Structure 1
Amino acid sequence: MDAELFPRPRTQIAPGAVHLPGWLDTDRQRELLAACRDWARPPAGLRTVRTPGGGTMTARQVCLGWHWYPYGYARTVVDGDGTPVKPFPDRLGDLGRRAVRDAVGEDVAAYDIALINFYDADARMGMHRDSDEKSDAPVVSLSLGDTCVFRFGNTETRTRPYTDVELRSGDLFVFGGPARLAFHGVPRVHAGTAPPELGLTGRLNITLRVSGL
């Protein structure tokens, strides 16, 4: 929003987990959206992720740098068209390091993974941990488009205690340190809440990680 009656403050959700509202300005959001549309095109484009139990994730995904599949990483789209994963761009690495400095004041080794999830109005993400990496560097999450409820939990269980955070377009969420392996998910997307000037129907989440591989 251009103006709010009560501006949203920077918030520490848990030790090591920080929410920075409005971190991306409109121009940077547009740039990232245009890039995501390019990355989503085949080969190695946007796909539906199938779980080992035979189900499918409702959020669709494209990967950069390393291809994630349940529960590991590969250099090719082993659960899709089999083509090499698209390269991880330096500009995302720079953005990730700046995000961590702004959020938690740390300098991080080079980011080399991006997982880009697209949520339509009916998509959800169950509670899970980002535990397939060999590095404990903070995870960087950037939101574009529709507002969502982001549920940030604890490191022991998928259930309570957890905190529900409203993530809007342009928001940054970073979690590392003692919160690095916290369970988290997206129980709800508020359809039609994306900024009109963005020209996006749905929600994009760009998650940056350090593989340690």
Structure 2
Amino acid sequence: MNGARIWRGLLDAPAQAAVLEDLRAVVRAAPLLRPVTPGGRAMSVRMTAAGRVGWVTDRAGYRYADRHPGGGPWPPIPAAVLAVWDAVAACARTPDCCLVNFYGEGARMGLHQDRDEVDFTCPVVSLSLGDPGLFRVGGTVRGMPTASTWLCSGDVVVLGGAARLAWHGVDRIRFGESPLLPQGGRINLTLRVAR
């Protein structure tokens, strides 16, 4: 789909539940925050991260940071999440960041490029958990035609090669549809080599 490779149901229900349990430990160590864009607008998703660095945004700009905005270190990326990278990334380097986005009811992510990293030969690997999200991906130039598909819990997307800098986003979620998160919501994990 516009160069994005999609693995449907790569993680089965028990594997999804195991990753979710690992993520609960990540969030205890580095709580979810609602970030603010450099323009001062609060994003609709809540975020945290795991790994050597985490992606942050605030009035100072978009960047990778060595510590959680609360001051503590980022927790390590769970082994089960790194196994997803190993299965699909086809990259010799190991990710040093796992961005965790939580989509509550009405949350979305506008079209954007992942371009704060230093090595674009490494892909961005995205794992969906929980409620379905309508994923949209275009070309590497803003305004190029886009295509959309619903990503379900356990699906994995790889943006690599010619699609590494593709514009992409999540237009909406079908809140409360997945049994993985009893109170509803979607979690998206994106693994990347940031530095």
Gaps of at least 5 residues in structure 2 are: none
Shift of 1:197: 5.5
Structure 2 partner of 1:208? 191
CA contact (8 A) 1:97 1:111 kept: no
Structure 2 partner of 1:8? none
Is 2:109 aligned against 1:125?
A: yes
Shift of 1:97: 1.7
CA contact (8 A) 1:26 1:198 kept: no
Name which one, 1 or 2, has greater alpha-carbon Rg: 1
| Alignment TM-score, normalising by the size of structure 1 | 0.83
| Paired residue type of 1:151 | R
* Equivalent of residue 54 in structure 1, options 19, 30, 40: 40
Label 1:181 to 1:190 Cα distance change in 2 as closer, same or farther (>3 A). Answer: same
| Pairs within 5 Å for 1:1-213 | 13-15=1-3, 17-42=4-29, 44-65=30-51, 66-70=53-57, 71-77=62-68, 80-100=69-89, 106-136=90-120, 137-157=122-142, 159-194=143-178, 196=179, 199=182, 201-211=184-194, 213=195
Q: Give distance in 1, aligned partners of 2:172 and 2:25.
A: 26
| Paired residue type of 1:141 | S
SS at structure 1 position matched to 2:14: helix
Deviation beyond 4 Å, 4+ runs, structure 1: none
Percent identity (aligned): 41
RMSD (CA atoms): 1.6
| Alignment TM-score, normalising by the size of structure 2 | 0.90
CA contact (8 A) 2:5 2:158 kept: yes
Q: Give distance in 2, aligned partners of 1:72 and 1:14.
A: 27
Q: Give distance in 2, aligned partners of 1:83 and 1:164.
A: 37
* Matched residue count: 189
